[in-house]
Structure 1
């Protein structure tokens, strides 16, 4: 069997997988230290090198440092978070209300990654059948930035409990631009060993061997060596 020689060195692979496994959604551990321009530039370049369908590159990046702007975003969050809490009852509601779900003011920097839904014109290569590939592509830019940030020792927290119309107004976005990800960013006191929601007992990580199907939905890998390996190395 011929093995490609395009793979990374063992040290490089360890670094990549470490960033993947140790990436966290940070809310509580932010330090006030600023992110240097050269570091932020590297993170934005990493995001900008994400793959995109039809090479449309639909993302833009809004760097938000103003305390006034962030205070307005925080007020939006608190309004939406109150609504979200009302969806739960009893112990679940109490546990939800005890979670810290944003670091808007604690982090030294906020970043909104947007998706320009008109970029590339009306006919983008590869977008004919699945219109939302622009949104999917922008999510890849978010992930690129998140992994690069972990490698730099910078925490990132995605604030999803926001009304998108209100956020668009606050950030003066054009009608065709969607605020896909509102991120809090900064150096942290620590990266937790496990995702915070897992540590707090909100959800547990699903078992991978139960999520892998063979040739179609619901078909088990059966005696496949892959299944055995997944079960032994969970």
Structure 2
């Protein structure tokens, strides 16, 4: 698929064909592309938890589900594949304390933005784009903050890895897709050239 087609076709898909698993070679391609995301200082402070058995995905739903969740929330997802993306801030602080960077106190106050989370977000976007390129549907969603300790316990996630979000992946079902084109903001509202204007 041409890159512009991937960009144009990528959308959040929340409903999948339950009888079509994602082929192992496609899972590997998705993961190999994820780890090629850019990272500040080539720190690569991310980690990916791959869940592809019905038992693991049911355990994820149980760990992340809130009592009053509406049924459309992605934490209730029924997908053949989930990839939970994590950032590791300490890897960045360690990397930037090295001699070629020079921030030896490992203080995070000078960072203008949390690049550990941003870089993990870029990896998540590569997961979404690779899924689209492979003819799959995918949806990025966050984990409820209050359920993160339950998620960590259920899957043995070390404390230094913070879940940024999860991507559900599978073959889209045949349900009609929502057309959100009318809700896309005009480019002159979000793109500013030369000077920010009201």
**Under TM normalisation by the shorter chain, which class is it?**
0.7 to 0.9
Deviations 1:133-175 (A, max 9, x none): 1110111001111111101011112232523333223222111
Give 5+ residue unaligned stretches, structure 2: none
TM-score using structure 1 length: 0.68
Cα distance in 2 for residues equivalent to 1:155 and 1:79: 25
Partner of 2:13: 26
The one-character-per-residue Cα deviations of 1:190-228 (angstroms, maximum 9, x if unpaired) are 596656xx38xxx82111122222333326xxxxxxxxx
Q: Is the alpha carbon distance of 1:46 and 1:218 closer, same or farther for their aligned partners in structure 2, counting shifts above 3 Å?
A: same
Partner residue in 2 for 1:155: 137
Q: CA deviation at 1:31?
A: 4.0
Rounded Cα–Cα distance in structure 2 between residues aligned with 1:162 and 1:49: 27
Residues 137, 78 of structure 1: CA spacing in aligned structure 2 closer, same or farther, 3 A cutoff?
A: same
Pairwise CA RMSD: 2.9
Higher-Rg structure is 1
Instruction: Quote the residue 1:136 is aligned against.
Output: 118
Which ranges of 4 or more aligned residues in structure 1 deviate by more than 4 Å?
Answer: 125-128, 190-195
CA distance in 1 between counterparts of 2:77 and 2:189 reads 40
* SS of equivalent to 2:66: helix
Structure 1 CA distance for aligned equivalents of residues 142 and 163 of structure 2: 10
Where does residue 100 of structure 1 map in the other structure?
A: 72
CA shift for structure 1 position 108: 1.0
Unaligned stretches of 5+ residues in structure 1? 1-11, 84-96, 220-234
TM-score normalised to structure 2 length: 0.79
Deviation at 1:105?
Answer: 5.2
